[in-house]
Chain A
Amino acid sequence: MAWPGVARSARLLGINSSGASSMLPPVFGVLFDGLAYGMLLFLLSVGQSVTLGMMNFINLAHCSFAMLGGYLTVTLMSRYGWSFFATLPCAFVVAAVVSVGFERTLFRRLYRASELDQVLLTIGIVFISVAVAAYVFGTDQQPLQLPHYLRSSLTFMGIRFAVYRLVLVGLALLITLALVIGLDYTRFGARVRAAVDNERMARGLGIDVDRTFAITFALGSGLAGLGGALAIEIVGLDPSFAFTYLIYVLIVVSVGGLGSISGSFVAAIVLGISDVAGKYYIPQLGAFLIYLVMISLLMWRPLGLLGKR
Chain B
Amino acid sequence: MALSETSIDPQLYLVEQTRWRPAEIVFWLATLLPYLLFPNYLSLASQIAIAALFALSLDLILGYAGIVSLGHAAFFGIGAYTAGLLSKYGWGEPLSGLVVAAFAAGVVGYATSFVICRFRHLALIMLTLGFGLLLAELANSLGWLTGGMDGLQGIHTWKLLGTFPFDLYGRAAYAYALAVLFVLFLFTRRLIHSPFGLSLRGIRENFVRMPAIGAPSRAHIRTIYTIAACIAGVAGALLAQTTETVSLDSLGFERSAEVVVILVLGGAGRLYGGLVGATIYLIARDQFSGIVPQYWYFWIGILLVAVVIFLPNGILGGLAQFTARWSRK
Contact = CB atoms under 8 A, between A and B. Distances in A.
Chain A–chain B contact at Cβ < 8 A:
yes
B307 interface: yes
Given A287-B137, A288-B134, A291-B130, A3 B253 contact: yes
Given A116-B264, A294-B130, A124 B301 contact: yes
Interface footprint category on A: 35 or more
Given A58-B125, A109-B309, A135-B294, A115 B68 contact: yes
A270 to B, nearest CB: 16
Contacts, number: 133
A286 interface: yes
Given A115-B68, A295-B134, A125 B305 contact: yes
B127, B296, B305 — which one has the most chain A CB atoms within 10 A of its CB?
Answer: B305
A200 B248 CA distance: 46
Among A113, A115, A284, A291, the most chain B Cβ lie within 10 Å of the Cβ of A291
Interface stretch (A20-28, A91-99, A189-197, A297-305): A297-305
Contacts of A295: 127, 130-131, 134
B295 interface: yes
- Place the interface of chain B in its size category: 35 or more
B141 A299 contact: no
B182 interface: no
Interface in B118-141: 119, 121-123, 125-127, 129-131, 133-134, 136-138, 140-141
Interface in A256-302: 258, 284-288, 291-292, 294-295, 298-299, 302
B303 interface: yes
Contacts of B137: 5-6, 285-288, 291
A129 B213 CA distance: 46
B280 to A, nearest CB: 16
A127 B298 contact: yes
Interface in A11-64: 52, 56, 58
A294 B312 CA distance: 32
Nearest to A258: B122
Most buried by B among A121, A127, A247, A250: A127
A5 B252 contact: yes
B215 interface: no
A299 B119 CA distance: 9
A6 B136 contact: yes
Interface in B143-181: 149
Scoring B129, B149, B248, B295 by chain A CB atoms within 10 A of each residue's CB, the highest score goes to B129
Contacts of B62: 116
B286 interface: no
B304 interface: yes
Nearest to A124: B304
A106 interface: yes
A247 B133 contact: yes
B28 interface: no
27 contacts: A3-B254, A6-B137, A6-B140, A58-B122, A106-B309, A110-B308, A113-B308, A115-B68, A120-B304, A121-B305, A123-B257, A126-B301, A128-B298, A128-B302, A130-B301, A135-B294, A135-B295, A247-B253, A250-B126, A251-B126, A287-B137, A291-B130, A292-B134, A295-B130, A298-B126, A299-B127, A303-B123
Given A113-B308, A126-B301, 17 more contacts: A1-B294, A5-B137, A115-B68, A116-B62, A117-B312, A120-B261, A123-B257, A124-B303, A128-B301, A131-B295, A132-B298, A135-B295, A250-B126, A291-B134, A298-B119, A298-B126, A299-B115
